[in-house]
Structure 1
């Protein structure tokens, strides 16, 4: 299903309708939205980070307005003063409903394009860029990419080998194996708010739903706020003022601090919601009639044999502190559990505490996903 053909008109209409629901729910109780609130606004994490990317891009344009041929912007005092102003503003984001709506709509549209056709999305992004170093141009967006991340990382590596951009993207997309899983998961997240039918084979142009007016929407959405893992810090030593505005890093550092303060001392209680969400997610996937969905929900006869090399490397290093023997013992124990819930209980009691797992991390969720298939 790589490169699924999107109905562009349906995609735009859906983005407007989806955004209208999200905005109506949020602004019925708030006059403005802050950076922290943006991070957890939509159940689809990529939407939230694309909003921040749009905000960052807009802010880069604002930074240029500071510059003038009549002043020395290379002066240390001037440079430091601007950096202080920029960092202060980045921690005091506040956007009204009217100004936020176009940011959200564009973020939803870009997320849908990346979700269904990642190769087409990156081709468009890189072809529209004037940068000579395509790998570096793409790397500058790494903190905002949360969807099809394995493809993104592989693309960065391949772009560094000086091959043609289009051919490189096609090669990376061809090697990518996580497409169907991420597609199903994120479609389910979108549909918690609004049914998603935007492919050419799904939508007739004359049957497109019109977006609901914001002022007439009264339903407040009930949604779980997804936790967001802290992105890697930017170690760039560049002195460009544009690089100083990084709301993602500032916002997420504060968010993680707040989350840690509110963690329950009972680890089992902390993960009940994760288990419930995983079960709901895979029950929804069972209802799909595609061959990929059927294969996705089939039980694994042997857990360790169905964990690929990349997954094993990730689990051992990120979850078991590089201890291969501990990992092997844990997988053997899970293999002999009689249910998904009992296997999670085992991991929580014997390994999560021992290795200080963050159960909202991508690594833990990936492991739970593999184990879940073991008991289907």
Structure 2
């Protein structure tokens, strides 16, 4: 039995999500700006897919101007003036609700596809690139990829210019098989939708005979001479992503998708730090120790949302205090013992659940121990 996408559920969900978001924003405003869009929802990927679509429309507008046969757009003075005009235009984004809501719907659907099937999504992205310019296309668009970006950005400036689209697409598929166990889970990513409307993955995935198939479907910025779209990487909201050690695909080992249970601590309660450390070290995380700094400053916004909701009874202050306490620990063992003493039993954590395992993995990655 294979899995099939419930496209009707996705379409309905995207419409409802977009309607709720727009109801909230346009209740007090007539139009939205580029800086507003960057912070429109708790899902960074949704926000940046909206910006990505505006960038594409901006490029289309420029192409229309250049297609006029009566003027010499190759003239250096015309080129400079046109570039300045388009950059100024990009910093004057002004979208009313009737035009924004469809953009939000599309962005939500794309984000769901990216979270659940990054290979198909990025292969479709490659197919949009102009012939012979895949590398340029990826360079130009990488700032808009916030989820599972390691599946595709490793190709930039490494694959050469002689590869056709098919070779790029095969490379994405092969690389994903290597890095997939170190990527954030679809549950964690889609949890960022929860403050607007919870996304039901069980409803989205259906058991059926056909194979799985997808249809392709800030801070105030100082005035400058660059375009709004070139500033995306500089003005990305802080704490939406945490820094990961860049590991080349060949350095990562694929582990079994079903982890061994975490052994209890010596007194029969909580988590055994030595057993947990051994298990993480034997999987694909061996080279990831010591790659995270302060946990209190490194969590992605989707992780904060999930940990607060699933592990800390919806109390964000309790999560913040826990992260700061763990940051003050001197070793992995000390940190796990603190977690056992204060949280595992007090908050009735089920230690084999995905949120707990994600939380423990972050602690493991913080401490550089042999």
Instruction: Name the TM-score class by shorter chain.
Output: 0.5 to 0.7
**Which ranges in structure 1 are unaligned for 5 or more consecutive residues?**
205-226, 231-243, 260-270, 275-289, 320-328, 344-365
Q: Does the CA contact (< 8 Å) of 2:277 and 2:364 recur in 1?
A: no
Q: CA RMSD in A?
A: 4.5
C-alpha distance after superposition, 1:44-103 (max 9, x if no partner): 100001000000001111112222222221222212211221121222211100111111
Deviation at 1:173, TM superposition (A): 1.7
State whether residues 273 and 332 of structure 2, in contact with CA within 8 Å, keep that contact through their aligned partners in structure 1.
no
Aligned partner of residue 185 in structure 2, secondary structure: helix
Helix, strand or coil at the partner of 2:32: coil
User: Does the aligned pair in 2 maintain the 1:298–1:373 contact within 8 Å?
Assistant: no
Contact 2:5 2:205 in 1 (8 A): no
What CA distance in whole angstroms lies between the structure 2 residues aligned with 1:36 and 1:153?
A: 25
RCO comparison, higher one (Cα < 8 Å, 6+): 1
Residues 97 and 300 from structure 1, CA distance in 2 versus in 1: closer, same or farther, beyond 3 angstroms? farther
Residues 300/75 of structure 1: CA separation in 2 closer, same or farther (3 Å cut): farther
Partners of 1:22 and 1:62 in 2: how far apart?
Answer: 27
Q: Distance in 2 between matches of 1:298 and 1:114?
A: 34
Higher helix content, 1 or 2: 1
Whether the aligned pair in 2 keeps the contact of 1:14 and 1:198 (CA below 8 Å) is: no
What's the CA shift for 1:175?
0.9
Mapped partners of 1:58, 1:41: distance in 2: 19
The 2-side partners of 1:116 and 1:155 are apart by 21
CA contact (8 A) 2:46 2:107 kept: yes
Distance in 2 between the 1:140 and 1:299 partners?
Answer: 46
Question: 1:353 maps to what in 2?
Answer: none
- Give the corresponding residue for 2:334: 336
In 2: Cα distance, 1:179 partner to 1:8 partner: 28
User: Is 1:247 aligned to residue 228 of structure 2?
Assistant: yes
Say whether the 8 Å CA contact 1:34–1:92 is kept in structure 2. yes
Q: 3-state DSSP class of the match of 1:140? A: helix
Say whether residues 1:147 and 2:147 are aligned partners: yes
Matched, 1:196 2:199: yes
- Cα separation, 1, equivalents of 2:230 and 2:287: 27
Change (3 A) 1:8 1:34: same
Compared CA separation, residues 201 and 75, structure 1 to 2 (3 A): closer
Aligned 1:178-257 pairs, distance under 5 A: 178=181, 181-197=184-200, 202=205, 246-250=227-231, 253=234
- State the partner residue of 1:70: 70
Q: Give the distance between the partners of 1:42 and 1:77, measured in 2 at CA.
A: 41
Work out the CA distance in 2 between the residues paired with 1:53 and 1:298: 44
Q: TM-score, normalised by structure 1?
A: 0.59
| 1:89 pairs with 2:79 | no
Q: Where do 1:242-321 residues align within 5 Å?
A: 246-250=227-231, 253=234, 301=274, 306=281, 308=285, 311-312=288-289, 314-315=291-292
Residue 311 of structure 1 deviates from its aligned partner by 3.2
Helix, strand or coil: the match of 2:125?
A: helix
Q: 1:332 and 1:76, CA in 2 relative to 1: closer, same or farther beyond 3 A?
A: same
Q: What is the TM-score when the length of structure 2 is the normalising length? A: 0.60
Measure the CA separation in 2 of the matches of 1:333 and 1:111: 37
1:8 aligned onto 2:11: no
Which residue of structure 1 lines up, in the alignment, with residue 22 of structure 2?
Answer: 23
Aligned ranges 1:154-165 → 2 under 5 Å: 154-156=154-156, 159-160=159-160, 162=163, 164-165=167-168
Unaligned stretches of 5+ residues in structure 2: 208-217, 242-256, 263-269, 298-326, 343-357
Cα distance per residue 1:6-53 (max 9 Å; x no partner) = 222221221111111111111112111111110111111000010000
Check conservation: 1:21, 1:193, Cα contact below 8 A.
Answer: yes
Q: Which region of structure 1 is more displaced relative to structure 2, 172-181 or 135-144?
A: 172-181
Q: 2:47 corresponds to which residue?
A: 48
Q: Deviations over 1:163-212 (max 9, x none)?
A: 734432221121123476331212211122112125567569xxxxxxxx
- The residue that corresponds to 1:99 in the other structure is 99
Contact between 1:148 and 1:179, CA under 8 Å: does it hold in 2?
no
Answer whether contact 1:5 1:200 (CA < 8 A) is retained: no
